[in-house]
Amino acid sequence: MKPGKPITPPAWARNFLAWYCKPALLEDLEGDLHEVFERNVRTRGRRIARIIYIIDVLKFLRPYTVRKPKVAGALNHFIMLTSYIKTSGRNILRNQLFSAINIFGLAISMAVGLILIGMLYDLREYDRFHKNHDRIYRLTSRYHYLLSKFENSPFATSSLKAAFEIKNTFPGVDDVAIFHRDFGGDFSFKDKTIPLSGMYANEGVLSVFSFPLVQGNAETALKEPFSVVLTEKSAKRIFGDTDVVGRTIVHNDGREWTVTGVMEDIPVFSHIRFDILGSLSTRKITVEGQDHEMAWDNIWESWAYVLLKEETNLDVFQKNLDALSEREDKTIEYAHVGLSLHPLAEIVGGEDQSNQIGPVVGSTVVKILVALTVVVILSACFNYTNLSI
């Protein structure tokens, strides 16, 4: 025979007791009432026991068992806060000069400190929108004239020869993006002429960086000579809309260029900025003296960004760069060109370099901003403490 269902007090009565009773008294009171309930079940029956339990719960609804409502606590806090405000107001009116120096000095210092912190945070966010920003490195150069004891500061630029050697022969490389200066000027379409700033670029630019195209094929847009990619803003300035792939624009040197792609406008937090990109392969046709173009020590005109594979060892890669420098230094006289990698996310606030591709801040300014932030906030705190004491 299965045992019967256990007899329990009314649930709503137990919940009501837990609602009004003080937590310090609830456990003992609930235990006593339950013990009386079980005894009444045995002696008087279930129905009578439940009625008596309900009556007992209502009987204990007394001032010493009822917990304080939360509204009362909030009211007490409000009264205390009002008292503090009144006291502070009287002190401010009694010591107006002292209060003004303390309040405005601390407020202004904290505001300046927060602005500086915001600036530092924005600097940290530069170039992190690229999908593979943690694997993208800029190739930097150090040019040392061997007959001089002084070594030049690092350059953000590097030679085209170094970029192509890394792209074609180095292990551990997914792709290399190459920019070259001296592309830009006035571009015309029909009777409209618009000045645009730009650079030459190879097809790797659209695979290394997250510059998505809204029109065109990213793999081929910058492959053929006399091909250009416009930003959406530039396309609207020239044509009035962005449905422009296949149209032709004329550079101020008289050459015609075909629009092969339109990319989304460049985000604010990018150190690389342009209105138009022209295919780098065009320079093989338009530039005379290809020997100089591909010279090992021609490090002044192009920027190379390397996308490394995830498993690439940076120390091994640097040894390969050193070996490349040692081999190619033999093609020039009285000079050494050293190569190194600079992480993309550290370019804006990192090591100071010459020939930057766009506006950067540099480590010196970042250190000054950090020092100013600390000095402003600490001086405000010390000033407030000293005046208060």
CA 44, CA 38: separation in Å to the nearest integer? 10
CA distances from 136 to 117, 224, 301 (A): 26, 25, 20
Q: What parts of the chain have a pLDDT lower than 70?
A: 1-5, 69-76, 149-151, 384, 387-389
pLDDT at 260: 96
pLDDT at 73: 59
CB 304 within 8 A of CB 339: no
Residue 260, phi then psi, degrees to nearest 5: -115, 0
pLDDT at 17: 87
pLDDT at 1: 38
| Short-list 306, 273, 299, CA closest to 154 | 299
Q: Which helix (H) or strand (E) holds 230?
A: strand 227-231
CB 210 within 8 A of CB 129: yes
**What are the pLDDT digits (tens) for 367-379?**
888 888 888 888 7
CB 239 within 8 A of CB 247: yes
Q: At what angle do helices 160-169 and 314-328 cross, to 10 degrees?
A: 130
pLDDT at 2: 44
Does residue 194 sit in helix, strand or coil? strand
CB 307 within 8 A of CB 256: no
